[in-house]
Amino acid sequence: MKVIHSISELKETLCASRREGKTVGLVPTMGALHDGHASLVKRSVAENDVTVVSIFLNPTQFNDPKDLERYPRTLDADCALLEACGAQIAFAPSVKEVYPEPDTRVFSYPPTDSVMEGAFRPGHFNGVCQIVSKLFAYVEPDKAYFGEKDYQQICVIRRMVDDLGLGLEIVACPVVREESGLARSSRNTLLTEQERGIAANIYRVLKESCHLVAGVQAVHDFVVTKINAVPGLEVQYFSIVDGNTLADIKDWKDSESVVGCITVFCGSTPIRLIDHIRYK
Ligand code: PAF
C-alpha cells in the first residue's frame, strides 16, 4: 500500500491507474480506524480496482475545539489496518496541503443539513461538504463509501452530489456494532469500559421502540424517557424524520421512509454518541 501525503502525487498515481482503465473507490475517513471503517474499505476493495482511503482530521467540521483536540490520532495503526484490508492508497495530507487558504465556500441544503446535528453543531455539515467536495475533486472516484452510522451525513452528501452534478455513486454501508449493540465509532475509545456498557442501552431502547404500537410522539417520548432513565446517559435530541429529507414527521403515514436519529451524552466527560433506527 502506498502512503501519499501530497495532492499532486495522488493525482498522478490515479491518472496512471485510470489510463489502464481501472475503477477507483474512495473511503473518506478522519483516522482512528475501527471495524466499521474496515467494512467500508473491504467493500470498496471488492467493488473497485483501486481503493483510496483518505485519513484527514478535518478542522473545518469541528465547531468545538475541545472535540478536535481529543479526537484520537493513530496513523500507524490506521495504515496497518488499511494494508490488511487490501487498500492500495492511504492519502494522509496535512491541513496546509488541503487548506492552503481558508475555505470560504458555503454549502446549504436545508432541512437536511440544518436539523439535528446541523442545529446542534453549527457549521459542521458545511465543513463536511468542504472536505468531501475537495476529496471528490482530487480522487474523482467512481464510487465513494460512507457508514450509515452517520445517517444525516450521507443524506447531506447525496444532496451535495446532486447539487454539484458530480457523476459518482454514494454507497451507504450498514452500521457495524459491538456485540453489545453499541454502534462502532472512533469516539468509543474515549469511553471507559463501564461507560461502554451503559452506552449499549441506546440501541437496546431504539430497538425496543420499533415494537411499540403507538403514534410518533408517543414513540419519541418512550425513547427519550427510557434513555434518560439510565444513569450516565442524557439525550440531546431524538428526532423521528423522513429518511431522505430529514424533515420531521408527525404521523407514520407522512412518509414511506422513516428514521429515528438520536444523539446522547454518555459519561462524565461527557462523550457525544450518535445512532439511528429505521422504522420503515
Ligand atoms: O465521517 C467522517 O469521518 C467525516 O465526516 C468525513 C466524511 C471523513 C469527512 O471529514
Closest protein CA for atom 2 of ligand 1: 29
Residue 173 Cβ inside 6 Å of ligand 1? The answer reads: no
**Is 150 close to ligand 1, i.e. is its CB under 6 Å away?**
yes
Instruction: Give the span between the Cα atoms of 107 and 123, in whole angstroms.
Output: 9
Residue nearest to atom 7 of ligand 1 (CA): 28
In this prediction the pTM is: 0.95
| Res 234: pLDDT | 98
Q: Which atom of ligand 1 is least distant from the CA of 54?
A: 8
Q: Where are the beta strands (DSSP E) in the chain?
A: 2-4, 24-29, 50-55, 89-91, 143-147, 169-173, 233-242, 258-266, 271-278
Rounded CA separation 237/260 (Å): 10
Element holding 37 (H helix, E strand)? helix 35-47
Instruction: Please report the DSSP string for 227-268 in residue order.
Output: HHTSTTEEEEEEEEEETTT--B-SSGGG-SSEEEEEEEEETT
pLDDT of residue 270: 93
Q: Known catalytic residue: 37?
A: yes
Return the bridge partners of 28, or none: 54
**Amino acid at site 243:** G
- Best of 73, 98, 132, 138 for a ligand 1 pocket test (most atoms within 8 Å of beta carbon): 132
Per-residue pLDDT, 67: 87
- The pLDDT of residue 236 is 98
φ/ψ (deg, to 5) at 26: -120, 135
Q: What is each CA distance from 120 to 115, 164, 254, 260, in whole angstroms?
A: 8, 26, 25, 16
* Residues of the chain falling short of pLDDT 70: none
Question: pLDDT tens-digit profile of 249-261?
Answer: 999 999 999 999 9
Most ligand 1 atoms within 8 A of CB, residue of 148, 150, 272 to mutate: 150
Pocket lining: 29 vs ligand 1, CB cutoff 6 Å: yes
Nearest-angstrom CA–CA distance, 274 and 225: 17
Pocket flag, ligand 1, residue 132 (CB < 6 Å): yes
- Cell (9 digits) for 22: 481501472
Task: Report whether residue 131 contacts ligand 1, using a CB cutoff of 6 Å.
Answer: yes
State if residue 242 touches ligand 1 by the CB under 6 angstroms criterion.
no
Inter-axis angle of helices 35-47 and 75-85, nearest 10? 40
